[in-house]
A and B are shown apart, each in its own frame.
Chain A
Amino acid sequence: MKITVDEDKCCGAGSCVLTAPDVFDQRDEDGIVVLLEARPHRERHDAVREAATVCPAAAIHVGEEA
């Protein structure tokens, strides 16, 4: 799994932080997403997919390459 985030689209909602806190954080100054791990461990894949689905700005993209 390879995650990419679009900082321009991100609206700082933090849904990703609530869903997968080991993978996503937010910048203090404006709440924009910080990707902690672009290739997270398998056990986090479900949470990451869920974060991508609930992201209100469609700013998280999950690629399935190894």
Chain B
Amino acid sequence: MTPHPETAVSPEIPDFPAPRSSGCPFDPSPDMRALSDRGPVTRVRSWGGSTPWAVTGHAEQKALLADARLSVDFSRPGYPSPVDPRYTHAGGTTDLSFVGMDDPEHNRLRRMISGAFTVKRVQAMRPAVQRMTDSLIDEMLAGPKPADLVQALALPLPSLVISELLGVPYRDHGFFQRNSRTMVSAVATGDERHAAHTALSEYLDDLVGRKTAEPADDLLSALGRRIEAGELTRREAATMGVLLLLGGHETTANMISLGTLLLLRHPDQLAAVRDATGQRAVDDAVEELLRYLSIVHLGRRRTAVEDIEVGGRTIKAGEGVILLGELANRDPRVFPDPDRLDVTRDARGHQAFGAGTHHCVGQPLARLELQVVYPTLLRRVPTLRAAVPLEDTRFKYDAVIYGLHELPVTW
């Protein structure tokens, strides 16, 4: 991208992302917050002198994410890719299936799996999710104190749920969990992660083959039928399987651990979730935790393919756009007193799952897991508390999926 001449050298444009210096660990950093004060659509300075747009407003983000004039294709010049070498797949090293495609190609693939995530199908999984949650809590309670809630509950639950949805046989759960844990591990080396990714891809490829030959009532068998009909290749099917596993693993896990810690620090709000009598009160609390924590950080990233007028600015064709969900979800025009955690507010308009055509395909399932896990944990372990002070809790400050490295708890 050629930076805009009038803005490229302006010293007033803030750096993005600014290193986190201070502030409450549950809030966007003060430097990030300052971007909102510059308006709903504002320029930032990113790597290599580029000056993409940062979108901080709620309405502006929703409109842009639903706008086909923005592309997710990260091979386009101008794509505001994070340069940090840790952001490897944005450079195209990993096949992320439809995540990196625009419509109509994107929807051709996405709509082969989206039928597994209808309200009806996901609600039918509630008893299974409840059972898995209960048995993980049983195991934790039977083990030593303190326990790490991340390893005991937060990471295994989403992985078990996705195995069920895909149709991973029970005997392979150990292998499946071990490798997916390595893939999202902060301490694994690049080689270890690569090996785990290869093992999972090969495993899923093989499983797709078996499900095509002997179909059952699960998502991979449904993809198997598409393969037989010539609508999908086996490799495309396996890649979507890996995508679902990875896209839903650390995200959900971090919501479980971070949400629990946040509630432990707000006993009145915790009591409201624990003692909720109706489903609606639990659902509202989950929406508020999603809004407040907005764990997918540092922005959905897009490139404009045509000029777009938004928020009083013109985004020119070819310019990069960074849409900051954690700021949209604190937009006072939509959420009164946005920095107050209030599990009774109506937070459903939040964008913690993005918006538009790439809106999180797994969100009904993620919501179900959270609706089950918080009240179950708080009711079954009423004396639950953090085993280390907040100062010693390790937050994933520079990760794209914000969360906790571990959460030692006791009871």
Contacts and interface: CB of A to CB of B under 8 A. Distances in A.
Interface residues of A, number: 21
Given A12-B361, A13-B363, A57-B356, A28 B115 contact: yes
B111 A32 contact: yes
A9 B111 CA distance: 12
Q: Which of A13, A15, A26 lies at the interface centre, i.e. has the most chain B CB atoms within 10 A of its CB? A: A13
Interface in B60-118: 62-63, 66, 103, 107, 110-112, 114-115, 117-118
B355 A12 contact: no
Interface in A44-66: 53-54, 56-58
Nearest to A53: B349
B117 A56 contact: no
Nearest to A30: B111
Nearest to A14: B119
Contact of B112 (A13, A14, A27, A30): A30
B29 interface: no
Interface of B: 62-63, 66, 103, 107, 110-112, 114-115, 117-120, 348-349, 351, 353-359, 361, 363-364
Contact of B117 (A9, A12, A53, A58): A12
Q: Which of A11, A26, A53, A54 lies at the interface centre, i.e. has the most chain B CB atoms within 10 A of its CB? A: A11
A32 B357 CA distance: 12
12 contacts: A12-B361, A13-B359, A14-B119, A14-B364, A17-B118, A18-B119, A28-B118, A30-B115, A31-B117, A31-B118, A32-B111, A54-B348
A27 B112 CA distance: 12
Q: Which of B354, B359, B361 lies at the interface centre, i.e. has the most chain A CB atoms within 10 A of its CB? A: B359
A64 B114 CA distance: 31
Given A30-B111, A56-B355, A58-B62, A14 B348 contact: no
Nearest to B63: A58
Contacts of B110: 11
A31 B114 contact: yes
